[in-house]
């Protein structure tokens, strides 16, 4: 992809910050939308995001940061969405539909839009009439915090159009980022959604005092659930033991940087859902994904005991101690 391509990144959080950092290695300019006016002013003056990944220093000559969404998107050839899925519907509620119709749109969201129980690819396609060949996903295994530290990380780029996929992979490749490509748009996106639910389960179990032995069993069963679900929803050939699926699950379930694991850990320690959310002051995508996956699975009827256990704990307020004890008898 030519560095003359105009890129817009939408979001002000850690992943948006990390993506802007990566892109600045390979392009001359990035349009960056964030809604926080104070953060925009701070970046322009001090060259770093005051709220996320504060160690990242930007070349202010390479970024155009603004709170004007239309101004950032209109001239862009490629738009990367890095806004939490729970906010996407509101963000684009009054946005001109035609403006995204002919653009390449990549999602780095890793969540479900709760208003539609839809993954971002489907939301983009249905809302803006963007062809699926122009829609992609950027997924892990990768934590934004390690990108900020320039630790070697791997990204999987998925799109049904091979050329679009390869272009984005080239755009995001640099000294500390290696990229893989995939044509499994729906499978990788659904897997990225589901791993957040299993990460919450992992955190709950850690909070309850379960050890590494049980965590290994939990995640072995989790990848089986992921495979069964995405094979039912999108029946194409895929290897779920590759890094886009299993790798992304493992890093999210085990890492100290995982907000979903941290959220689950607090639930396991006895926090209420609301208290845990307030304590984190960050969005745990898996909370919203849990309910949406349960709704979606009413159609497909895949056995997903781990997802169901997390749902009962988060939404039906069943005791984590009781629910996880029941779950242990369902795992193998």
The secondary structure of 223-257 as a DSSP string is HHHHHHHHHHHS-S---TTSIIIIIHHHHHHH-TT
Please state, as a whole number, how many other Cβ atoms lie within 10 Å of the Cβ of residue 26: 17
> Pseudo-torsion of CA 283, 288, 293, 294, nearest 10°?
140
Rg of the chain on CA atoms, in Å: 19
Sheet of 153-159: strands edge to edge?
63-66, 30-33, 7-10, 78-81, 104-107, 135-139, 153-159, 177-182
Strand partners, 106: 80, 136
Distance, in Å, from the CA atom of 200 to the CA atom of 214, rounded to the nearest integer, reads: 15
Distance, in Å, from the CA atom of 288 to the CA atom of 267, rounded to the nearest integer, reads: 15
3-state secondary structure at position 179: strand
8 Å CB contact between 223 and 240:
yes
- Tell me which residue of 91, 72, 74, 85 sits closest to 20, measured CA to CA: 72
- Tell me which residue of 170, 150, 187, 133 sits closest to 7, measured CA to CA: 170
274 carries an active-site annotation: no
DSSP secondary structure letter of residue 102: T
- Tell me which residue of 8, 25, 110, 114 sits closest to 64, measured CA to CA: 8
Catalytic residue among 6, 21, 110, 195: 195
Annotated catalytic residues are: 195
């Amino acid at each position: 992809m030519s560095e003359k391509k105009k890129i817009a990144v939408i979001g002000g959080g850690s992943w948006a910050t990390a993506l802007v950092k990566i892109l600045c290695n390979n392009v001359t300019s990035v349009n960056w939308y964030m809604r926080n006016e104070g953060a925009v002013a701070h970046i322009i003056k001090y060259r770093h995001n005051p709220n996320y990944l504060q160690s990242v220093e930007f070349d202010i000559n390479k970024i155009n940061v603004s709170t004007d969404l239309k101004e950032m998107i209109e001239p862009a050839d490629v738009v990367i969405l890095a806004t939490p899925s729970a906010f996407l519907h509101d963000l684009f509620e009054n946005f001109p539909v035609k403006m995204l119709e002919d653009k390449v749109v990549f999602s780095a969201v890793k969540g479900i839009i709760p208003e539609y129980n839809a993954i971002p690819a489907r939301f983009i396609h249905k809302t803006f009439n963007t062809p699926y060949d122009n829609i992609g996903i950027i997924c892990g295994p990768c934590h934004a915090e390690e990108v900020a530290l320039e630790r070697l990380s791997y990204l999987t780029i998925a799109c049904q159009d091979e050329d679009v996929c390869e272009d984005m992979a080239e755009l995001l490749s640099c000294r500390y980022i290696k990229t893989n490509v995939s044509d499994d748009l729906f499978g990788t996106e659904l897997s990225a959604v589901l791993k957040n639910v299993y990460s919450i389960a992992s955190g709950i179990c850690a909070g309850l005092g379960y050890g590494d032995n049980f965590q290994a069993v939990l995640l072995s069963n989790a990848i089986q659930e992921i495979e069964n679900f995405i094979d039912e929803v999108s029946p194409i050939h895929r290897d779920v033991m590759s890094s886009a699926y299993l790798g992304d699950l493992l890093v999210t379930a085990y890492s100290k940087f995982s907000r979903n694991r941290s959220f689950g850990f607090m639930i396991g320690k006895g926090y209420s859902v609301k208290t845990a959310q307030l304590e984190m002051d960050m969005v745990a995508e898996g909370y919203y994904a849990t309910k949406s996956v349960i709704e979606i699975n009413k159609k497909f009827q895949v056995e997903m005991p781990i997802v169901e256990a997390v749902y009962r704990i988060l939404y039906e307020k069943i005791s984590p101690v009781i629910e996880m004890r029941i779950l242990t008898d369902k795992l193998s």
